[in-house]
Amino acid sequence: MSKRIDANQPMIVRDLRKAGAMVQSLADIGKGCPDLLVLFRGDAYVMEIKDGMQPPSKQRLTPLEKEWHAQALEARYHVYIVKDSTEALQIIGAIK
């Protein structure tokens, strides 16, 4: 069974790919794993997509997402929380 994705994720994926990024959805993994792996100009980015059009209560990390993020941070990795294409493109350095 596929995990539900946020409504803005397809647009973010499309825009990242238009910028030349390789994008792999991780949504089916579940268990708090972030939504996207993004490769761009030799760097890797892990992104958790949240729909900025939803109320703040719907944008919060789930307990499993919080745990995953904490483990990544402890291992010195960063998970970016992204609400729109502009944020995603800025994170990877495709736009300023």
Three-class DSSP category at 22: strand
Q: Where are the domains of the chain?
A: 9-92
Structure confidence by residue, pLDDT tens digits, 16-69 = 999 999 999 998 998 999 999 999 999 999 999 999 899 988 899 999 999 999
pLDDT of residue 63: 95
CATH of domain 9-92: 3.40.1350.10
Number of Cα atoms under 13 Å in the Cβ half of residue 65 = 16
**pTM, two decimal places:** 0.92
Dihedral sign for Cα 71, 75, 81, 85, please: negative
